[in-house]
Amino acid sequence: MARYNNGINGPVSGKVGSVVGASWRGVDYMRSLPVKTKESSEAQLAQQEKFAVAVAWLKPLTEIINVGYHHIKKGMTPHNAAMSYYLTEAVAGTAPDFVINFSKAIFSEGPLITSFVTEVTPAGSCLLNFKWENATDSIYSAADDRATFVLYNPQKEKFVLYQSVAARGERSVTLSIPNKSSGDTVHGYLFFVRADGQAVSTTLYLGPLIVP
């Protein structure tokens, strides 16, 4: 709001263009007209809901995403690169019932080869053993690449992250899962990070797994 000092034409009263002239307690002033807001369309509201689902899913995974999407696209932050993927590929359903498609969720994308997981077996209470087979050693599959596992428990709506828990050349690892998850079904994921941290493999979905 601006105070108006009378000019040669006297005070302004009423609407003039995009402003309104008025007087209060003998003080003449001018103010802008309120901006009319356009209601969001159904498509815009649906996109906002879809966006919110992706944001909520990725929020606990900042550290993982910063590694897995670090080299994806120049000019994009790792988080934005991940959001771009999830909004087009991994968020399923229709408004207002959008959900994450667990089989399409990934936490990394890159040129390294992902080892083939051959066996997932119970190794005791809340313990799962993972075994994998590797491709021939190369710059895309080195024995010292580091394995990162992600487990998601939909019943608890919780992630458990296992960063750099084994070398690719070890071909197996046993993961300890929080005791309160015994009997739950979790969704498992695996990707590898090169020893120098400069490359990753695209995430491999390991399927639903029952916690012993």
Task: Please say whether the beta carbons of 184 and 156 come within 8 A.
Answer: yes
User: Distance (Å, rounded) from C-alpha 134 to C-alpha 143?
Assistant: 9
The tens digit of pLDDT for each residue in 178-208 reads 989 999 999 999 999 999 999 999 999 999 9
Spatial CB neighbours of 103, under 8 Å, sequence gap ≥ 6:
205, 207
Q: What is the pLDDT of residues 104-153, one digit of tens each?
A: 999 999 999 999 999 999 999 999 999 999 999 999 999 999 999 999 99
Instruction: For the chain, list the domains and their CATH numbers.
Output: 2-32 (no CATH), 42-210 (2.60.40.10)
Copy the structure tokens of residue 79.
Answer: 């988080």
What is the distance between the alpha carbons of residues 71 and 37, in angstroms, rounded to a whole number? Answer: 39
Q: Are 29 and 2 in contact (CB under 8 A)?
A: yes
The pTM for the full model equals 0.81
